[in-house]
Amino acid sequence: MIGFLHYDQCQYDQAIHWFQRQISLATEIRDTFFIEEAMGGLAMVYFELDDMDLAYDRLVEKLEIAKSVGARMGFAMGLGMLGKYYHLLGSHLQAEQCIAFCLEEAVQIQDWHIASVVLGIEGCNLMEQHRYEEACQWIERSAQLTKKLRIPFFECEALYFTSLLRERQNQYESAMSAAAEALKLAIRLKRRDLQVKLHVQLLQLKSCLGRISTDDAVDELQHMLEQYAGEQDQAIIRFVMWLLKPDSTELRTAALTLNEALYRKSGKQEYSGRLRKFGSFDQTIAARPLPKLAAEVVKGKRIAPSLLGKSIDF
């Protein structure tokens, strides 16, 4: 559990240390449940660190352990996380298949916590396919469910997803409202990762709506560059600076170089989407194939629309 506490507050080095310690101690006493749990925790950390191969490897181990001991929900959760892996890398069909299996299991045994999480992931998966009306339904359900269950960590994410969706639909006022609400939660939860993304998004939206000038927005983003030294933070900050001043060769070069490097490291569609804006996307990094254990159970799986209603009817 200590590993998850550090993960929640974006203390990833500490989270890795405690998850590895959990695995070591659980191995000594042959407690496979805690080993499987820690594998999932490590995968979550590696997602955040852009180490997608390590995340995939830990998820395969989680699935193998869960399958061997008959941990039904542990196996389903592993597939849900695998769905997130495929979503992050832009493999939409594989993402939906894995999420469908996890969501069906969660609804069947009434694990609404897990249901609320994968609803949000599938909403984002649909959003990246420009299926905005469908995405709205899934993300709204996730937001409703996380609020009803009082899970602020994932409520914050659902609000962030809502703000991204509204922005894509050119509903800037609604996007700004959702982002502001999400930012309050992120600050309370000490979620530094989302604090940066939401601050940046709010500055961009305020500029689009004429609430602040482009120069003032860029000045604030420049100040953020001095506060946040991480590559991922720098990448999004520099990208939005260039969006606000697209004629600047200096801003373009700095943003392009960093986002290209992060895409080559991770293959995440977050970075490939930015590279397309630069007109510089010329290489697709494929996700790894479905592990055999997963392929056997998700083949042909699609998400039944009826699950949307079931996921909040409890």
d(CA 76, CA 99) in angstroms, rounded, equals 9
Domains of the chain: total: 2
The amino acid sitting at 176 is: M
Q: Please tell me the predicted confidence (pLDDT) of residue 226.
A: 95
Half-sphere exposure of 36 (CA within 13 A, CB side): 23
Please report whether residue 224 resides in a domain.
Answer: yes
CATH of the domain at 50: 1.25.40.10
Tracing tokens 């240390």 back to the chain, one arrives at 17
CA distances from 285 to 55, 115, 183, 267 (A): 16, 29, 32, 5
Instruction: Answer with the one of 48, 70, 92 that is the final residue of a domain.
Output: 70
Please report whether residue 221 resides in a domain.
Answer: yes
Please report whether residue 206 resides in a domain.
Answer: no
d(CA 135, CA 146) in angstroms, rounded, equals 17
Q: Are 123 and 301 in contact (CB under 8 A)?
A: no
Q: Please tell me the predicted confidence (pLDDT) of residue 230.
A: 94
Q: Please tell me the predicted confidence (pLDDT) of residue 224.
A: 97
Q: Which of 120, 118, 210, 211 is nearest to 160 (CA)?
A: 120
Q: Please tell me the predicted confidence (pLDDT) of residue 306.
A: 72
Token pair recorded at residue 250: 């200096």
Token pair recorded at residue 227: 């506060």
Please report whether residue 274 resides in a domain.
Answer: yes
The amino acid sitting at 283 is: Q
Please report whether residue 261 resides in a domain.
Answer: yes
Q: Please tell me the predicted confidence (pLDDT) of residue 282.
A: 74
SS3 of 111-164: CHHHHHHHHHHHHHHHHCCCCHHHHHHHHHHHHHHHHHCCCHHHHHHHHHHHHH
Q: Please tell me the predicted confidence (pLDDT) of residue 309.
A: 65
For the chain of 314 residues, list the mean pLDDT of each consecutive stretch of 10. Answer: 92 97 95 95 98 98 96 96 98 97 94 95 97 96 95 96 97 97 96 95 97 98 96 98 97 97 96 92 88 93 74 54
Token pair recorded at residue 281: 């996307």
What is the pTM assigned to this prediction? Answer: 0.95
Please report whether residue 126 resides in a domain.
Answer: no
Instruction: Answer with the one of 41, 70, 99 that is the final residue of a domain.
Output: 70
d(CA 99, CA 119) in angstroms, rounded, equals 8
d(CA 250, CA 275) in angstroms, rounded, equals 16
Q: Please tell me the predicted confidence (pLDDT) of residue 74.
A: 95
Q: Which domain does 66 fall in, by range?
A: 1-70
d(CA 111, CA 314) in angstroms, rounded, equals 11
Q: Please tell me the predicted confidence (pLDDT) of residue 198.
A: 98
Please report whether residue 46 resides in a domain.
Answer: yes
Q: For residue 235, count other CB atoms closer than 10 A to its CB.
A: 22
Please report whether residue 137 resides in a domain.
Answer: no
Token pair recorded at residue 187: 């600050």
Q: Are 158 and 139 in contact (CB under 8 A)?
A: yes
